[in-house]
Amino acid sequence: MPEGHTVHRIAMQLTADLVGHPAAVSSPQGRFAAGAALLDGRTITQARAVGKQLLVAFDAGDADLTRWLRVHLGLYGAWDFHGRISAVTAESVAVGSMGAPRLRRAVRMGEGEHAVGPDDGAAPAFPPAPVGQVRVRLLTDESLADLRGPAACEVLTPDDVAALVAAAGPDPRVDAWPDPEATAVERLTARRTAVGQLLMDQSVISGIGNIYRAELLFRARLDPRTPGRQVPVEIARGLWRDWVGLLDDGVRTGVMVTREGLDAEGRSRALADRSERHAVYGRAGEPCLVCGTPIARADLAGRTLYWCPACQV
C-alpha cells in the first residue's frame, strides 16, 4: 500500500503540473461519472496530502462553492501522469526521466514510482486514449493525470475537508496542529493498544504504513506489542521525530530507505535495490542486521508485522 511519502509526492506532482489550470474531469470507467460532472471545467487550485489522503481543490469562483476530490489509494491505487511532467524534487531518484521539461512518456505513482509505456523516443499523441480501468481523468492543455484502482474517491465540501483533517492524526508536513509532536506523543501513550497497532492508526499519526511502522519500531528498539501506555514519553517523542526525518527523506527521493548507518555507497545501493532498504520489513527468517537473530513475523490487527525478538525488547 502506498504510504505517506508517496501521497505527498503525488500532491506535489499535481501542484507542479495541473494546479492553476482548468481541467476537463471525466470518468472513463464510468464509476465516478456523477462526481466528475461536479468538477468538470473547474480550475484546480490546490493539491495537498494529509497522511494517506489526497485532497484536490476545484474552484468555481466562489470559496463557498469550492469542491474537493478526496482520494485514498488503498492497496492497489495509482496515478499515471502524461504530457508535461515536472521534477517534483531536486533529489528525485525513483523516476530518472521526471525532470524533462516536456515529457511524452507516462509516470506511474502508487506503491513506488516508475516510467510506463514505450521509450522509443517518439512523442505519442496527447492526450492518450484511456487504457484499462481509469476511475478519474484530470486533463489540462499540457498535462494529464489518470487515477486507477483507488480504495476511495469522492467529492467533498470545504466543511467535509475540515472535518477530515480535524479527525486525522498529525502529519509532519501539514500545518494543521498547534503542536503536532505533543499531539502524537499524547495519542501514542494514552491507550492500552499495542504500539505497533497505534502507529498504523491514522487518527493517531497520519501517513505511517506497514513498512514505516516496522522500521520505526526497530530503529527505536521497541517491541511492537508494547501497550501504548507503557511506552516512555521520550521514546514516543523519538518515534515522532524519526518519522519526521524518514518522511522528509521519502518525499525528497521517492524511496523508503530506513536502514540506519548507511554510508554514501550503501545508500546508493539502497536507492537502487529494494532488498537493501530495510532492516526488518520483508525479512522474516533472515538474520537481524544488528544481532543475527532471525526476524520474526506475525499478524497484528490484520496486517503483517516484522520485528527482531532480540533487539526489540
CB 176 within 8 A of CB 115: no
Task: Give tens-digit pLDDT for 52-67.
Answer: 999 999 997 776 689 9
Which of the following is catalytic: 2, 28, 172, 180?
Answer: 2
CB 50 within 8 A of CB 173: no
To the query of whether residue 52 is one of the catalytic residues in this protein, the response is yes
* pLDDT for residue 114: 63
Which of the following is catalytic: 3, 148, 215, 283?
Answer: 3
Chain-centre distance for alpha carbon 89? 15
Tell whether the torsion through CA atoms of 63, 64, 65 and 70 is positive or negative: positive
To the query of whether residue 227 is one of the catalytic residues in this protein, the response is no
Alpha carbon distance 169, 185 (integer Å): 11
To the query of whether residue 303 is one of the catalytic residues in this protein, the response is yes
Alpha carbon distance 153, 133 (integer Å): 14
Q: Which residues of the chain have pLDDT under 50?
A: 90-104
Task: Give tens-digit pLDDT for 223-260.
Answer: 999 999 999 999 999 999 999 999 999 999 999 999 99
What amino acid occupies position 171?
Answer: D
Helix/strand/coil for 40: coil
Which of the following is catalytic: 259, 269, 297, 303?
Answer: 303
Helix/strand/coil for 7: helix
Q: Rounded to whole angstroms, what are the CA distances from 229 to 140, 143, 191, 223?
A: 50, 49, 5, 13
Which of the following is catalytic: 52, 84, 105, 213?
Answer: 52
Q: Residue 108: enclosing H or E segment and its boundaries?
A: strand 106-110
Tell whether the torsion through CA atoms of 128, 72, 133 and 60 is positive or negative: negative
Q: Rounded to whole angstroms, what are the CA distances from 312 to 192, 215, 223?
A: 18, 11, 5
* pLDDT for residue 89: 58
* pLDDT for residue 187: 98
Residue 46 β-bridge partners = 57
Q: Classify residue 93 as exposed, middle or buried by CB count within 10 Å of its CB (0-12, 13-18, 19+).
A: middle
* pLDDT for residue 112: 66
Q: Which CATH architecture has domain 169-307?
A: Orthogonal Bundle (1.10)
To the query of whether residue 104 is one of the catalytic residues in this protein, the response is no
Residue 300 β-bridge partners = 303
Identify the CATH number of the domain defined by range 4-162. 3.20.190.10
The string of DSSP letters for 168-199 reads: SPP-TT---SSSHHHHHHHHHSSSSSBHHHHT
Domain ranges of the chain: 4-162, 169-307
Alpha carbon distance 161, 159 (integer Å): 5
* pLDDT for residue 117: 62
